[in-house]
Amino acid sequence: MDKFSQWVRDRHNYARGWKAMTGGKVLGYFCCYLPEEIAYAAGVLPVRVIPGDEPQDLSNLYIMSFFCPYCRNCLGEGLKGSYDYADGVALGHTCVQIDQTFESWRAALSPSFDYYLPVPGSPDESGELKPFFAAELGDFQRAIEQWTWRAVSNDDLQRAIDVYNRHRKLLHRLYDLRRNDPPPLSGARTFEIVLSSMLVDKAEHNMWLGELLDSLSTSAKRQRPGPRVMIIGGENHSPELLRLIEEQGANIVIDDLCMGSRYFWNEVATPSPLMGEGGGVSRETLLSSIAARYLDKPGCPVKDVSNFSGRPRHKHLMELVREWKVQGIFIVYQKFCHPQELDLPSLNKLFQENGLPTCVLELDTTLTIGQIKTRAQAFLEMLS
């Protein structure tokens, strides 16, 4: 476990070391709707931009004060020079606040490469959005090729898909172990593993994660018994938040977080070689498979805005509740995060109708440790 914690702590040193060792380029990205496979296929290291934990005022010149602290501090980290090793930045369209963070970053820092990828803002219920998004991915690939001076072959793209799919399979194995009562690994540790995977080379992460899973599968050690809870929310980069909740006696057995299960939940469908010309798989087929994966993955409130009564997001959440035997829900969101705030009434209604107690926590740049502990204790006592 120390390796994953070290990667999170020393993420900037890792990226600098990788860059010095490989001579490759580093691409900073802001949201899990950017298809990393395309950049990875060109030998680029995708690194997720995450904020620091200290208040800052550098971003005040570029971004409005009523934007969420997560966005403001991501930009602040760039302005401080924390990501000076990032050769470029890219964003798959998401909320207005992250969009503005990206725009301000490239205006203030003038990276050698920047790319804004249009991502459809609703579930592909008609099937018409996938061809559009696949065409956009083709443009993204050509931009990456021009930036890196490297042509991405179909084999390169397939290898990148294989590495990322293996990573998703391994993380599913990790989450499946948490079905046990009590689970063998805490929710905070699990979250740290997922977060670290966004900061390092996926192939290296796969190797270490495979070894960890082998040891966990044979270990008799378990977490202490406690209420089985789920944590739901948007942008949260702090394992400490989950640790604080679990220190009050909970077992966080499953999550629906941007930096948790939503990051890896579904895979890119592997196309049959017979579908392409000459027995191979065409570039269009590969890009269509990637496009389908990102449009069909569990949506956040920004993307899943279809009719409330049959929202795919709600169905997915209730499946997680049933399969991981959840007894209570923590809903966390960043202060001033309008999509998450607008999502709260429908979530509360959903869980109330299904007899699931909820506890809502608002997050700021610095964790309000005393308040979180007090509210978590009261909620868990109620569950008990």
> pLDDT tens, 135-192?
999 999 999 999 999 999 999 999 999 999 999 999 999 999 999 988 999 999 999 9
> pLDDT tens, 38-51?
999 999 999 999 99
DSSP-derived secondary structure for 321-348: HHHTT--EEEEEEETT-HHHHHHHHHHH
CB 43 within 8 A of CB 85: no
Tell me the average pLDDT across 46-57: 88
Tell me the average pLDDT across 64-91: 92
Q: For the domain bounded by 161-266+298-383, which CATH number is listed?
A: 3.40.50.11900
Confirm whether pTM is higher than 0.85: yes
CB 187 within 8 A of CB 280: no
Q: How far apart are CA 319 and CA 11, in angstroms?
A: 34
> pLDDT tens, 274-298?
444 455 788 999 999 999 999 999 8
Given this chain, do its domains 2-124 and 161-266+298-383 carry the same CATH topology?
yes
Q: State which amino acid sits at residue 222.
A: R
Q: How many CB atoms lie under 10 A from the CB of residue 1?
A: 14
SS3 of residue 281 by DSSP: coil
The residue to which tokens 């690994």 are assigned: 185
Q: How far apart are CA 288 and CA 135, in angstroms?
A: 8
Q: Percentage of the chain with pLDDT > 90?
A: 66
CATH topology classification for 2-124: Rossmann fold (3.40.50)
Predicted local distance difference test score (pLDDT) of residue 307: 46
**What are the extents of the domains in the chain?**
2-124, 161-266+298-383
